[in-house]
Structure 1
Amino acid sequence: MVRNDTNDENAVTRALDALTFILNDPLRAGRFLDVTGLTPDNLRECLTDPSTLAAALTFLEAHEPDLIACADSTGHSPEALVAARRVLEQPR
C-alpha cells in the first residue's frame, strides 16, 4: 500500500511542481488558462492561493494522461498529486 502523507507544505510543493509542469507546455498552459479563466497576469498574482494550486491539480486529474505525465516528470506519484489537491481544498 502506498502512503500519501501530505501536509500543507508538501501539498503546496507538489502543486507548484504540477503548475510548472503545466506551464512548461504551451498547449497545456493554454488549455489550463482557458479552463480556469485565469490570465497570465492574475495567475502571477495568485500563485500561492490554495484554490489556484488546487485548480492546477484538478486540471491534471481531469485528463489522466496529463496526470501520469506530470507524475513522471515531477517524481510525485499520481496518488500524491491527488492527495495534495484534497489538502489544498480543505477549509483554512
Structure 2
Amino acid sequence: MVNEDLMVLALRVLGHVAGDGDMGPRLLALTGLDADGLRARASDPALLGAVIAFLMAREADLITTAAALEVPPSAIVRAGQSLGEDEI
C-alpha cells in the first residue's frame, strides 16, 4: 500500500505538470493520453509514478516543479520510487 502523504504529493505533482504550458503538452504527447484520460487515471499509482519518472528525465522540470510545490526534489523522487515508476 502506498503511503498517503506520497500519494498526495504525487497528485500535486500531476496537477502542476498538467497545468504547465510546456510540461503538460509534452506529457500528453509522450504518453498518448488526452486530458480526459489523464483525469480518469489520476489516482492510479502507476500513472503517478510515470509522471514523476517524466520529471526525473529532465532535471530542470523536476527542480521547477519542486520549487513550485515548495518541496525538495528528493521528496518527489522518493514518491516516484514508492509508486514504482511504472510505464503508462
Category of TM-score, reference length = shorter chain = 0.7 to 0.9
Please report the RMSD computed on the Cα atoms of aligned residues, expressed in angstroms.
Answer: 1.4
Q: Which has the larger radius of gyration?
A: 1
Question: In the comparison of the two structures, how many residue pairs are matched?
Answer: 84
Query: Which structure would you say has the larger RCO, counting Cα contacts within 8 Å and 6 or more residues apart?
Result: 1
Deviation at 1:26, TM superposition (A): 2.3
Equivalent pairs: percent with the same residue? Answer: 36
Partner deviation per Cα, 1:34-75 (whole Å, 9 max, x = no partner):
111211111111110001111111111010001001110101
Question: 5+ unaligned residues in a row in structure 2: which ranges?
Answer: none
Does 2:37 correspond to 1:26? Answer: no
Matches within 5 A, 1:1-92: 8-89=3-84
Question: Could you state the TM-score of these two structures normalised by the residue count of structure 2?
Answer: 0.87
Structure 1: which 5+ runs fail to align? Answer: 1-6
Normalising to structure 1: TM-score of the pair? 0.84
- Give the equivalent residue in structure 2 for 1:4: none
